[in-house]
């Protein structure tokens, strides 16, 4: 894929996620996608490693079940050939408590034939966990 095609594919995924368009979103993942979101599983049960679009979709539906996304901006995208990295600024409201969580997500992706085949996402999980739990974690 060219850099422009990769950037367009990433923008399509971002747009579908922001809109909660699950059908479009799942169509943009390769059948055998290797996907990992690094975050504490006790706080973010939808995180961790997933393989294949069915597992990834289940994980993303978990995000929507736990949170209402109120902001999802991507101020930085770097693309080169079939790979892209981005920084996203996210705000979400926890459905169970009404608490707002704000975080940044660093993402690294690879694409083939217009579909994402590899994903790694990183958040400041300590800060995010404190926001979700509603108290400072003293270590």
Please enumerate in sequence order all residues whose Cβ is within 8 A of that of 57, keeping only pairs 6 or more positions apart, or say none. 22, 25, 26, 29
Q: Judge whether 84 lies within some domain.
A: yes
Q: How many domains does the chain have?
A: 1
Identify any residues that bridge with 51 across adjacent strands, giving them in sequence order: 34
Confidence of residue 136 (pLDDT cuts 50, 70, 90): confident
Q: Judge whether 138 lies within some domain.
A: no
**CATH for 119:** 3.10.450.50
Going from the C-alpha of 80 to that of each of 85, 86, 132, the distances in angstroms are 9, 12, 35
pLDDT tens digits for range 88-121: 999 999 999 999 999 999 999 999 999 999 999 9
pTM of the model: 0.90
Q: Judge whether 97 lies within some domain.
A: yes
Q: Judge whether 9 lies within some domain.
A: yes
Q: Taking Cα atoms as reference points, which of 123, 10, 117 lies closest to residue 18?
A: 10
Q: Judge whether 53 lies within some domain.
A: yes
pLDDT at 131: 84
Q: Judge whether 86 lies within some domain.
A: yes
Q: Judge whether 94 lies within some domain.
A: yes
Residue 22, domain extent: 3-133
pLDDT tens digits for range 3-28: 999 999 999 999 999 988 988 999 99
pLDDT at 97: 94
């Amino acid at each position: 894929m060219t850099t422009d095609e990769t950037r367009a594919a990433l923008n399509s995924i971002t747009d579908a996620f922001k809109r909660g368009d699950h059908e479009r979103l799942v169509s943009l993942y390769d059948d055998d996608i290797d996907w990992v979101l690094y975050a504490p599983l006790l706080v973010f049960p939808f995180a961790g490693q997933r393989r294949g679009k069915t597992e990834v979709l289940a994980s993303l539906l978990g995000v929507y079940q736990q949170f209402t996304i109120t902001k999802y901006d991507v101020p930085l995208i770097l693309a080169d050939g079939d790979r892209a990295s981005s920084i996203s600024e996210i705000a979400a409201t926890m459905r169970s408590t009404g608490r707002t969580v704000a975080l940044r997500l660093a993402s690294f992706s690879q694409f083939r034939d217009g579909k994402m085949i590899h994903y790694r996402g990183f958040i400041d999980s300590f800060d995010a966990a404190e926001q979700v739990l509603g108290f400072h974690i003293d270590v």
